Structure 1
Amino acid sequence: MGERIDFKALAAKLSSSSGIAAKADIGSVAASLGLAGQPVAVGDDCAALPDGDGYLLFAIEGFINEFVAADPWFAGWCGVMVNISDVAAMGGRPVAVVDAVWANGEAGAAPVLEGMRAAARAFGVPIVGGHTNIRTDRGQLSVAILGKAKKLLTSFDAQAGDVLIAAIDHRGRYREPFNNWEAATDAPPARLRGDLEILPDIAEAGLALAAKDISQGGIIGTAIMLAECSGVGIDIDVRAIPLPDGVAIERWLATFPSFGYLISTAPEKADAVIRHFASRKISAAVIGTVKAGNAVAITDGADRIVIRDYAETPLLQLSRQEDAA
């Protein structure tokens, strides 16, 4: 990263990020539902349900009204895509999705449904049903997915001594005005489907135990969630983060990529993990270290600033139940 940055200003911006702060809603809702003490861990990209010698993966995504109104076709596409990403993040393969759509008439629903249909075709994942209400004045969308995994990558298994890898497809552009980095809608379907095999292959080869899909909280927010679920600290070197051409680090750290993951793995396995992504022409690099502690911090080689200490300011307030006990 050759550009000069105001490191303290960057840290201040990240510390006050609305994308990160919004993740606190997950913990408060989980508490209201009384999810503590159940056998299925809450706080991961998907719920992992034991099934024979593997796991069923179950997840759902909802979209803010402003996004659905501003870009309904892409909202429909994302309804399928981000769920597939959550399944892949856990080392799984998608099986099928269902949707819930609210719209003002058939004309209001059409672009959302067209976007979903296009993504389902591109990724080869069928839409098998859902819920429809096209007699409302507000467009809304939620999509759920079922997947399967042979071996899991989780948010709960990052370990002190690991390195943190960021893997993001740079072959895209921003879908303005949001911080969505879009590298999928014009990609060849065969490439998209092949890229989805990377995380399951890593899991099944035993190259990592922990991973997380980079979400609306960006690289830093996702690292905080991974750290808190695993009960570790993470230091991220902003100089080590690869950037797409013309994109500033300040925006990149707040970006929600269409294909982006954090992987925590042992140092001796990092090169093999990176090669899996490089073989698909996806940027991957070690960007930090996992350590004992409760803080996620950024460093520029000279200074280190804590973005969040989750022991002092919890975010998700979720962990594997046996750990919490």
Structure 2
Amino acid sequence: PDAECDSLGVAIVGIAQKDKLITSFGAEVGDKVIVAIDLDGKPHEMFALNWDTTYDKDAQLVQDQITAVQYLAEHDYIKSGKDISNPGILGTLEMLLETSQKGADVNLADIPKNENMPWNDWLKSYPGSGFVFTAKEDKCDFIKEYLAKYSIEADVVGEVTDSMTLNVTYNDQTIEVFNQNKNPVFKL
């Protein structure tokens, strides 16, 4: 949003039921925030913040990971979601929250993390297979168990609020990371 020109990069592959799409504008107050990432990867040799989970993987597993997310969408487990992209884990979550016109409280320690990556790099990373979702509480256990079958660790990391802010707590300290009234990502 701070570039000198407007630009958009999109890739769409496959067929989806139009009433079963995962959108970023469906989060509701009280939904749980889930972060789901394939932790079995490594920093890409040419771009350290790209968490490469596809290059050395079995092609069938990579395809199954995508199909697993499709299954969750088609069976109404997920309310909203985004694949984690260039803004990293928290930036991607903020993009979802802004389009849903919501906020969230997140516990940093609950975010799935590869133990070899420092938090600063991990939160900025762009995983090959990583997602932020919102879901009703009664759907969360199934989502976590289902994705685990496909080498994706998913955990409930927080809850959607009506605050229009993204607050992150770690070691009993809470900071406001984004405030849509002061520093929106999209500047809608």
Q: 1:174 aligns with which of 43, 62, 65?
A: 43
Aligned AA for 1:149?
Q
Conserved 8 A contact 2:79-2:136: no
> Per-residue deviation at 1:249?
1.4
Match for residue 156 of structure 1? 25
2:174 matched residue in structure 1: 304
Deviations 1:235-275 (A, max 9, x none): 11111112213111121101110110001011111111112
| Number of corresponding residues | 185
Equivalent residue for 1:190?
Answer: 60
Question: Which of 125, 131, 144 is 1:274 aligned to?
Answer: 144
Residues of 2 paired with 1:247 and 1:287: CA distance? Answer: 18
Which residue identity lines up with residue 168 of structure 1 in the other structure? I
The structure that has the greater radius of gyration is 1
Q: Deviations over 1:120-149 (max 9, x none)?
A: xxxxxxxxxxxxxxxxxxxxxxxxxxx533
1:74-89 equivalence runs, <5 A: 83=11, 87=12
TM-score, normalising length: structure 2: 0.90
Q: How does 1:220-299 map to 2 (within 5 A)?
A: 220-299=90-169
Q: Which runs of 5+ in 1 are unaligned?
A: 1-23, 31-58, 62-82, 88-93, 96-146, 319-325
Q: Distance in 1 between matches of 2:58 and 2:183?
A: 43
Secondary structure of residue in 2 paired with 1:252: helix
Once the two structures are superposed, the pairs formed by residues 1-325 of structure 1 within 5 Å of their partners are 24-25=1-2, 29=6, 60-61=9-10, 83=11, 87=12, 94-95=13-14, 147-150=15-18, 151-176=20-45, 177-318=47-188
CA RMSD of aligned residues (A): 1.9
Report the TM-score when normalising by structure 1.
0.54
Contact in 2 for aligned 1:231/1:293 (Cα 8 Å): no
